[in-house]
Amino acid sequence: MAIKGLIFDLDGVLVDTVPAHFAAWKRMFEEHGYTFGRAEYRRLVDGRPRYDGARAVMTRHSDSEVRIAADSKNDYYVEMIEQGEFQVFEAAVNLVRKCQSEGYGLAAASSSANVRSVLEKAGLLDAFPVVIGGDDVANGKPNPDIFLAAASGLGLAVEECIVVEDSSSGVLAAKTGGFYCVGVRHDDHDEDLPGADRVVSTLAEIDIDQMEER
CATH number of the structural domain spanning residue 126: 3.40.50.1000
The yes-or-no answer on residue 136 being catalytic is no
Residues 77 and 38 in one domain: yes
Residues 104 and 185 in one domain: yes
Active-site position among 11, 46, 52, 145: 11
Residues 133 and 190 in one domain: yes
Range of the domain at 118: 5-16+87-211
For residues 145 and 177, what is the distance between their CA atoms, to the nearest angstrom? 8
Of 189, 207, 104, residue with least CA distance to 198: 207
The yes-or-no answer on residue 11 being catalytic is yes
Instruction: Tell me if residue 166 falls in helix, strand or coil.
Output: coil
Residues 115 and 206 in one domain: yes
**pTM for the predicted model, two decimal places:** 0.81
Residues 170 and 91 in one domain: yes
Query: Domain tally for the chain?
Result: 2
Can you give the pLDDT at residue 184? 94
Largest CA distance in the chain: 51
Can you give the pLDDT at residue 189? 57
Can you give the pLDDT at residue 188? 60
Can you give the pLDDT at residue 191? 60
Residues 71 and 141 in one domain: no
Residues 109 and 166 in one domain: yes
Per-10-residue mean pLDDT of the chain, 214 residues long, equals 94 91 96 96 89 96 97 94 90 97 97 90 96 92 96 98 94 97 79 86 90 65
Residues 109 and 171 in one domain: yes
For residues 130 and 114, what is the distance between their CA atoms, to the nearest angstrom? 14
Residues 75 and 127 in one domain: no
Residues 120 and 204 in one domain: yes
Beta strands in 9-154 (DSSP E): 15-16, 87-88, 105-109, 130-132
